C-alpha cells in the first residue's frame, strides 16, 4: 500500500456503512485523517436489496477508530438538500473543517428504459447524480468560504464511459457524474479545489451481491454481453473495494495536485477492449 499523509485532514465519506464507502473511510483513517461517515441507514422503495444500517455505520466508526482516528457518524440521505446541508454543518462544527469529500453513495438495479417505472428513474438519478451534486455544492461552498483548497472525488463507473442494456438510468447517472466533475473542476479551480472521479469496473460489494441475489447471474451476464467481461485478469472476476480506495487516496493527495476534471478508470482492462 502506498503511504499518503492525511494527518490533520478531515474526510467526508458518503455511503460509508459498508462496501466501497467503508473501505474508503478505513483507508483515509490509515493515512491519518479523521473521518465523517454518512449513510441513509434505511432501504429505498425501488432498490431490491438491503442498504446500509445504523449498526453497519457504527461498525465503520469502530474500524476508523481502530486506526487511531476520530470518526463522526451522521445519518444522511444524499437526495435531501436540507439533510446534506445539515450534515456538512455538523461536520464542520465538530471538526472545524472538511478537507476531502468522497462522493461514494450509490444504488443499482435493472430495468429497460422503455418499460421502467418513473420511480426507478427518479430514485436512481436522485441518488447517483443529484446526491453527488448536493454534497459537492455544500462542501464546495465550505471550501470557498474557508480558503486553502480541497479535494472532491466521486464514484462514476465504467458505465460512465460506455453503455449496456438494462441499466440506462444507471448509465445516464454515471455519465452525468463525469460531466458534473468536469464542470466543478473548472468552477472551483480558482479556489485550489481538485475535482475528479473514479470509474470502477465490477467491484465485490454488498451492492453487487444484492443485485445478484435479486436478479440472478443472468442479469449481469446480459449486462456484460455487449461490453464483455469486467476484468481481463482473473477470468473476468470482480475486483476489490480496496482497489478503488487506492485510487481515491491518490486523487485526494498532494501527489495529484495538478490532476483535475478526470474520470480515472480502475477497470481491470475492460475499456482497453
Structural domains for the chain: 10-265 (3.40.50.720)
Catalytic residue flag (residue 159): no
The pTM for the full model equals 0.94
Where do the DSSP E strands lie in 116-244? Answer: 150-155, 193-200
- Identified catalytic residue from 4, 170, 215, 248: 170
Specify the DSSP element, H or E, that contains 58: helix 54-66
Sign of the torsion formed by the C-alpha atoms of 178, 182, 183 and 185? positive
Whole-number Å distance between alpha carbons of 44 and 205: 18
Q: Which residues of 185-214 are buried (b: 16+ CB within 10 A; e: fewer)?
A: beebeeeebbbbbbbbbbbebbbbebbeee
Where the chain has pLDDT below 50, the residues are none
Please answer whether residues 140 and 193 qualify as being in contact, where contact means their C-beta atoms are separated by less than 8 angstroms: yes
pLDDT for the residue numbered 213: 75
CA dihedral 179, 181, 183, 185 (to 10 degrees): -160
Whole-number Å distance between alpha carbons of 163 and 169: 11
3-state secondary structure of 92: helix
pLDDT tens-digit map of 150-202: 999 999 999 999 998 889 999 999 999 999 999 999 999 999 999 999 999 98
pLDDT for the residue numbered 69: 98
CA dihedral 209, 213, 214, 217 (to 10 degrees): 90
Amino acid at each position: 500500500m502506498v503511504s499518503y499523509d492525511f494527518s490533520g485532514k478531515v474526510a467526508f465519506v458518503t455511503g460509508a456503512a459498508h462496501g466501497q464507502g467503508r473501505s474508503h473511510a478505513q483507508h483515509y483513517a490509515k493515512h491519518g485523517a479523521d473521518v465523517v461517515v454518512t449513510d441513509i441507514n434505511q432501504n429505498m422503495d425501488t432498490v431490491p436489496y438491503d442498504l446500509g444500517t445504523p449498526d453497519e455505520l457504527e461498525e465503520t466508526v469502530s474500524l476508523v477508530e481502530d486506526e487511531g482516528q476520530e470518526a463522526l457518524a451522521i445519518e444522511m440521505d444524499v437526495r435531501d438538500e436540507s439533510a446534506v446541508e445539515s450534515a456538512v454543518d455538523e461536520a464542520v462544527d465538530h471538526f472545524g473543517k472538511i478537507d476531502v469529500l468522497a462522493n461514494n453513495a450509490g444504488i443499482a438495479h435493472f430495468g429497460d428504459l422503455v418499460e421502467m417505472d418513473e420511480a426507478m428513474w427518479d430514485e436512481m438519478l436522485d441518488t447517483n447524480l443529484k446526491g453527488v451534486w448536493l454534497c459537492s455544492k455544500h462542501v464546495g461552498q465550505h471550501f470557498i468560504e474557508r480558503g486553502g483548497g480541497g479535494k472532491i472525488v466521486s464514484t462514476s463507473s465504467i458505465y460512465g464511459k460506455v453503455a449496456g442494456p438494462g441499466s440506462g438510468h444507471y448509465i445516464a447517472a454515471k455519465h452525468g457524474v463525469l460531466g458534473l466533475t468536469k464542470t466543478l473542476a473548472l468552477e472551483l479551480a480558482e479556489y485550489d479545489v481538485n475535482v475528479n472521479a473514479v470509474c470502477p469496473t465490477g467491484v465485490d460489494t454488498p451492492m453487487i451481491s444484492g443485485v445478484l441475489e435479486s436478479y440472478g447471474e443472468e442479469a449481469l451476464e446480459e449486462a456484460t454481453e455487449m461490453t464483455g467481461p469486467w476484468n481481463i485478469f482473473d477470468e473476468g472476476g470482480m475486483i476489490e473495494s480496496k482497489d478503488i480506495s487506492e485510487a481515491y487516496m491518490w486523487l485526494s493527495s498532494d501527489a495529484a495536485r495538478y490532476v483535475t476534471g478526470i474520470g480515472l478508470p480502475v477497470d481491470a482492462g475492460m475499456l482497453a477492449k
